[in-house]
Chain A
Amino acid sequence: MNMDKPVRRVAIFALLLFFGLMAQVNYVQGSQAEDLRTDSNNARQYADVFNSPRGQISAGGEVLVVSKETGKDNPKYGRSYQDGPIFAPITGYFNGNATQVERAYNSLLGGKDKRITQQRWFDTFIGKKAEGANIELTLDPDAQRTAYEQLKGKTQQGRRGGAVVMDVKTGAIKVAASWPSFDPNEVAPQTGEKGAKRLEQLNKGSGVIRPLVDNALSQTFPPGSSFKTVTAAVAMERLNLSIGSSVNTGQLILPESGRPLPNSHDSGSCAGSAPLKGAFAESCNTSFAKMALDMGIQQLHDGSAKFGFGERVKMEPDMFAAESAVPVSVTDAKGQTVETGKDGTARSGIGQENVRATPLQMAMVACAVANNGKIMNPYVVQNVRAKDQSELYNASPKEFGEAMSGDHADQLAEMMRAVITEGTAKNLQGMRIAGKTGTAEQDPASGIPNSRWFVGFSPIENPRYAFAVVTEGSGDGATNAGPIAGAIMSKVLKK
């Protein structure tokens, strides 16, 4: 009896074992590799991001963010931000983790995006690292600097300010400035431990100041009278009002508490009855509170949703604005649901109570007014180019939605012009801007200052840009936000 046959069979079995191993290695290094590389436990991906230069971020032909060699092993590359605090609301920071554009375009900046790796498949195949792509922002750097300086000058110490300018035809964000801000250079990879500590400190903030949360896109404020634009738009549609409709501007007794809702003044248009245009221009609280009461909070809520209230507006993949809201009910600190009652509805109509809006949201409202009722989806990245200058992405303007009819928009635009010519913001004449003022109280009893708004468009005829400016402090929107808008728009219109 010889043993050759079983030896051969065992030899074949041994081969099968090796085939099994080969199949498994193919599975792990081939099919599974991508998942494993991006596994959250995989520390390599985090360390790896410092080993190659990221792409640049620029705006208006000016390079704002670059990667620089540190001369050390780890991190091999640092990140340097030109005018860091000024552009931080859009660029965000990068230290392995990232925010804003640094985060939304992380894979393109880091060279790991499929659009790069597929184009450079041969480089990928031979293990050559793909180079990060460069990003061009929609921002106007000069206007952004002006906005930052202006906000810094006009905002009360320890309080916040924000400004947004968007192109009404495309939705491109031209300015998104925030005061106070932070310097991303302080937390960039090259800062190491120190940067990590600084980031923790920034994250904690002090008082209401959260430097990492910008006040242009990511922070909400009570919009006050500037919200009357929304109330007017919804009321024109649902209550069949028009620019000439006569509205009651006289006294309003709140139905639940029985107390009166005051106007800032009871003269002029606010003396008892006026056309809608006059009530808007002079910002009569009682007329808009009544409109809100006539419609009910649900109608106001649904109408404002068309402008973007109630959702986190998506500007870029993985880059969202904070949610603005006209709540029908809110959850209080004890976790109980509190309905917005009649008094609350009246106050919601004038942008108080629980109504909150980001400057971006109010700029979108102005965009609807200036662009025949259509809101364009806001975006911040114009294009992305690979290192060889081939275009990987180019923004294509999208409509966010139609908030009102073109006719109503034209009437509202007319009313906004009246604010400058005959209304609350006569001081802004000659600045090529029109808009609505807003001065929202934020618990004056506790010493919290007003949030002061100016929301509108520019130039006055055939508007091309919509804007919203907010600063916190004492006084009103016409004098403390309007001039900022004028200064910013004079820079934007120069282009």
Chain B
Amino acid sequence: MQSIGEQIRARLPYQRRNAASFALLIFAMVLTLSAFAEVGLARDGSIPAGLFVYGGGLAVLAFAAYFVQAKFTPYADPLLLPLAVALNGIGLAMIYRLDLDTSADRKAAALAGKKVVADAADAPSQLMWTFVGIVLFVAAVLIMRDTDKSDAPLSFTPKTAQRYTYLIGLTAVIFLLLPIAPGIGAEINGARVWIQLGPFSVQPGEFAKLLLVVFFAGYLVNKRQAMSLIGKKIGPLSVPRARDLGPIMVLWFFSLGVLFVQKDLGTALLFFGLFISMLYIATQRVSWVVIGVGLLAAGVFVATLLPFMGHVNQRIDIWQNPKPYFDGGCLLESGKVVPVNPNTEIYKRFDTQGSLSPGFSACAELGGSYADSAQLMKGLFALAQGGVLGTGLGQGEPWRTPLSFSDFIFDSIGEELGLTGLMGLLLVYSLIVQRGMKTAVAARDPFLKLFAGGVSFVLALQVFVIVGGVTRLIPLTGLTTPFLSQGGSSLMANWILIAILVRMSHDARKPAPQAIQDEGMTQIVSTR
């Protein structure tokens, strides 16, 4: 039986779609430049200088990327690059807009000799990281060669990674552990996901995500026969052998560890969900999904029962009922939430005593566990302010939300572009994911199928976890919003992700080598 991918290929040979890609890229640039223009027109009534610096800079980069893509991967999926550029552009415009609102304050603080807030919207550095990201995209497209050249000496293709499956898996684990390591690990905004490299803070987790996909793909390609075929049939499910359960148990412990130690439900969900989905793709066995989801649910359930795991309960409580925690709430053992916000007497008392975080100290005295939902609520207020059509870029007050330029940039965009703008953004994300999935279907090699499917799904999951968090669909976790959030690591990792998909889509969509009819009996034998 032919696979679906083969059927599609047989009926509809892929063509070069560079013209379409170019047209879409122009559209993405028009979108971005209009966004910059709107910011300026709304704020000062004139086209801002930033339009030429930021918009122009992005345009030059994007078209450079396009020409590399058209020259070296002419059969690549035409949508991926323009969609990524559109997201990056809108994110850059939003950060530029937030930067305008805070830069005056920062200048004043610097002049007054006060401490300058390091953690603020910073458009110039975001443009720089965009530059680095797109250069990495170009480099990756140039370095990686077609899969059928895998055997040529010194060639690097997406498939090359399969040879180093375990090495890459080990690297991923090291990357994940680096921020915890003393010395280089750094804590920013209460989250220990950074390492300090000279002047730069890097989030190795962003890269670990990609490495994990490679590792899972390589591992599962090797084991999938055993994992999918062997097992006992119990009812409608076929239960796998105990020894095949090993990897899923390791991942389960790992995810629960993240959940327990870092109180990070989102990251746990991200890694575990990624593994389960790839396991399912590799084995086609629903039983793996049932086992995986069951394990995770059981783990979370047990966590909510354990007394010392109170914060998991609290996370769920804040998510369901954030109001009492606004500006600080204290969950007592009785399950009651007492406010310890700056209006309360106990807060004022600790404040006058000079406590660094009066709310936290007040809650400690009450014997409860402290949490603050102001961020989440303020994000929701921003969304509500935007309504259906938004306030218009430059006309809202997204700076009212803490981290409006990183974790909460989705809410900031929601305030100024409204429901309409967010629907557009979510469509752009889902298009990228679906084009990635299409690449997976079109790919010929099982490793590449898993690889493409995995990176596409991890992107979808990440968007789901962070956007779901800031819109209160699921409990909030601090993850970056791909291509929109301020931050270099995320931009670099995601541009590499797009480069991999572009290269693989070219590989999958290019026509098969033509048999040379004249040579009679000669056959083309693929070495794959």
Contact = CB atoms under 8 A, between A and B. Distances in A.
Interface stretch (A14-22, A243-251, A438-446): A14-22
Contacts of A393: none
Interface in A1-43: 1-11, 13-15, 17-18, 20-22, 24-26, 28-30, 32-37, 39, 41-43
Query: Interface majority SS on A: helix, strand, loop or mixed?
Result: helix
Interface residues of B, number: 58
Contacts of A18: 426, 429-430, 433, 460, 463-464
A126 B391 CA distance: 9
Interface in B377-396: 377, 380-381, 383-392
B299 to A, nearest CB: 21
Given A20-B464, A25-B383, A11 B450 contact: no
B426 to A, nearest CB: 5
Given A14-B437, A24-B471, A37-B384, A29 B429 contact: no
B40 interface: no
A185 to B, nearest CB: 28
Nearest to B4: A4
A11 B434 contact: yes
Given A3-B446, A25-B426, A28-B471, A11 B383 contact: no
Contacts of A13: 277
A10 B386 CA distance: 33
Contact of B385 (A7, A35, A37): A37
A163 B473 CA distance: 57
B391 A127 contact: yes
Nearest to B422: A25
Given A1-B284, A3-B282, A10-B280, A26 B323 contact: no
Interface in A42-89: 42-44, 47
B460 A17 contact: yes
A7 B455 CA distance: 12
A39 B379 CA distance: 13
Chain B CB count within 10 A is highest, among A1, A8, A10, A39, for: A10
Contacts of A2: 3-5
Contacts of A14: 430, 433-434, 437, 456-457, 460-461
Contacts of B390: 127
Contacts of B385: 37, 44
Contact of A29 (B5, B282, B388, B437): B388
Nearest to A37: B384
B317 interface: no
B449 A33 contact: no
Contact of B381 (A15, A17, A36): A36
A215 B374 CA distance: 42
Nearest to B389: A127
Interface string B446-472: 100110010011001101100110011
B461 to A, nearest CB: 7
Contacts of A1: 225, 228, 284
Contact of B472 (A15, A17, A28, A47): A28
B437 A8 contact: yes
28 contacts: A1-B284, A3-B282, A3-B449, A3-B450, A4-B3, A5-B4, A7-B440, A10-B281, A14-B457, A17-B461, A17-B464, A20-B468, A21-B464, A21-B473, A28-B472, A29-B383, A29-B419, A29-B422, A30-B388, A33-B384, A35-B384, A37-B385, A41-B323, A41-B327, A43-B400, A125-B389, A127-B387, A127-B391
Interface of A: 1-11, 13-15, 17-18, 20-22, 24-26, 28-30, 32-37, 39, 41-44, 47, 125-127
